[in-house]
Amino acid sequence: MLRRTKGIMCMLAGMSLVAACGSGGSADKGQSRADGKVSIEFWGWAPGYEESVAQWNRQNPDVQVVFKTIPTGAKGGYEKMFSAIKADNAPCLAQVGFESVPTFLAEGALQDIAAHTDDVKSEFSDFAWSQVAYGDQVVGIPVDVGPQALFYRTDVFEKFQLKPPATWAEFEDAARKLHKADPSYALTNFSTESYWYAGLVGQAGGNWFDTAGDSWKVDINGAASKKVADYWQGLIDDKLVTTSQPWSPEWLKGLSTGKIATAVGAVWMAGVLQDNAKNSAGKWAVAPMPQWDQGTHVAGNEGGSTTAVLKGCDNAEQAADFAAWMSTDDKSLANLITKGGIYPAAGAGRRLPEANKPQDFFGGQRIHEVFNQAAAGTAADWKWGPNMTQAATAFQDSLGEATVGRTTLSDALDDVQDKVVADYKAKGLSVITR
């Protein structure tokens, strides 16, 4: 976790938090009514949130939360939030993905609630808490995380006498064995998505972003990123993996038919397979993510979100109390797991029956046992940078060029690094590179 003084954080090129650096508020952002009761508005889009809000409201008549469903962040939800903040009529609470928290910070859109979180911090892993903690300040409560593991087709592995690879070296060996036996199969598909690749880099010990004084450190093309790139470049060059666009019909068909035999993915990939590969029910299992070093238990993370407290919330303490309750209460978590399919950021949620049921789609396996180990092994110091939407687009474009042979993955990382640094400088941010 980063440790910075409040003064430095306020200087951090626009990354000012409201409570620390000063900003006005609006009565709309957590109204105290004439009868002494508090009404807090909450914007989000995830399934299950509305039901958890209803549970809270039944138990807390004096602090009522009003949930408003908006489009997902990437489809206009974040723009709606920023517009409301500028108009001084934003809600107190908002669903914000981990990768977008620094963007909200750069816009001065979040409020420090550190004074109200001392008794809840211990409920979360160091990784989860690091996504909402900046210096001595806290800007939200984690809801879910996305530890990665290896989803694999048991029927294909049995047919070709493969075993779940414990290391990336074994993964390559399995890819070669499968290709030699039947080139119409591929062990997996290489994805150009930045968040998927970031999980691989985090597992390899890399970190794309950090802060130093009032500057952003950007290291997208660092040693760990290049290590991952060189590994996958070898698999691509030897045609041992496919390079279909993620979420494309070709990729989904490959998973459904078994022609793509594995997917390195986050816990939510289970739902993707169940929705898009129904005919393969019972033919999937989950194993730990292959390791760089034999005997280690390190995992990457792909995804996750927080309930963030937005600028000017007049009832930040009550907002923080609700956010903490939603992420740690057993009944709320049982609802979010069942209705929303989340993997809880809070350790208590991972012990609930709803999170540990045998799953028929995975041959009766209790797949969360694998993800519990992965979550425990996720590196704690990973941070995102501001404007990840632009960075993700640059990443997909550049890596897409590499998958069709116009450049290499290593050179593509250099290109993304240059584009992100140029973007930050254009926005007036101070940048440090290697």
DSSP 356: S
Comparing 6-145+303-365 with 147-300+382-432, is the CATH topology the same? yes
Phi, psi of 17 (to 5 degrees): -95, 145
The DSSP code sequence of 223-235 is HHHHHHHHHHHHH
Cα distance between residue 114 and residue 320, in whole Å: 9
- The answer to whether the beta carbons of residues 297 and 288 sit under 8 Å apart is yes
- Position 190 pLDDT exceeds 50: yes
pLDDT in tens, 41-69: 999 999 999 999 999 999 999 999 999 99
- The answer to whether the beta carbons of residues 433 and 218 sit under 8 Å apart is yes
- The answer to whether the beta carbons of residues 82 and 109 sit under 8 Å apart is yes
In angstroms, the Cα distances linking 216 to 3, 51, 81, 303, 432 are 14, 39, 24, 22, 6
Q: What percent of the chain has pLDDT over 90?
A: 87
Q: How many CA atoms lie within 13 A of 101 on its CB side?
A: 30
Topology of the domain comprising 6-145+303-365: D-Maltodextrin-Binding Protein; domain 2 (3.40.190)
Q: What pLDDT sits at residue 362? A: 98
Q: What pLDDT sits at residue 213? A: 83
Q: What pLDDT sits at residue 31? A: 58
- Global model pTM greater than 0.95: no
- Position 267 pLDDT exceeds 90: yes
Q: What pLDDT sits at residue 211? A: 84
pLDDT classification of 381: cutoffs 50, 70, 90: confident
- What is the distance of C-alpha 154 from the center of its chain? 27
Q: What pLDDT sits at residue 29? A: 56
Q: Calculate ∠ Cα 434-402-395, nearest 5°.
A: 55
Q: Where are the alpha helices (DSSP H) in 22-68?
A: 49-59
pLDDT classification of 173: cutoffs 50, 70, 90: very high
395 Ramachandran zone, left/alpha/beta (phi>0; psi -120 to 50): alpha
Least confident of 19-33, 132-146, 323-337: 19-33
Q: What pLDDT sits at residue 379? A: 86
- Position 370 pLDDT exceeds 60: yes
Sheet with 431-432: list strands edge to edge. 209-212, 215-218, 431-432
Q: Which amino acid is at 147?
A: P
- Position 245 pLDDT exceeds 50: yes
Q: How many CA atoms lie within 13 A of 58 on its CB side?
A: 8
- What is the distance of C-alpha 417 from the center of its chain? 21
Q: Is 426 exposed, middle or buried (0-12, 13-18, 19+ CB in 10 A)?
A: exposed
Nearest to 386 by CA among 36, 82, 69, 40: 82
* Both tokens assigned to 236: 């691509």
- Position 314 pLDDT exceeds 50: yes
Phi, psi of 427 (to 5 degrees): -90, 5
Cα distance between residue 313 and residue 32, in whole Å: 11
pLDDT classification of 33: cutoffs 50, 70, 90: low
- The answer to whether the beta carbons of residues 293 and 167 sit under 8 Å apart is yes
**Which residues have a Cβ under 8 Å from the Cβ of 425 and sit 6 or more positions away?**
431
- Position 16 pLDDT exceeds 70: no
Please state the domain extents for the chain: 6-145+303-365, 147-300+382-432
Q: What pLDDT sits at residue 212? A: 84
For domain 147-300+382-432, the question of CATH label 3.40.190.10 is answered with: yes
DSSP 279: G
Q: What pLDDT sits at residue 46? A: 96
**Which residues have a Cβ under 8 Å from the Cβ of 52 and sit 6 or more positions away?**
326, 332, 335, 336
- Torsion angle (degrees, nearest 10) of CA 93, 99, 101, 106: -140
- Position 15 pLDDT exceeds 50: no
- Position 272 pLDDT exceeds 60: yes
- Position 154 pLDDT exceeds 70: yes
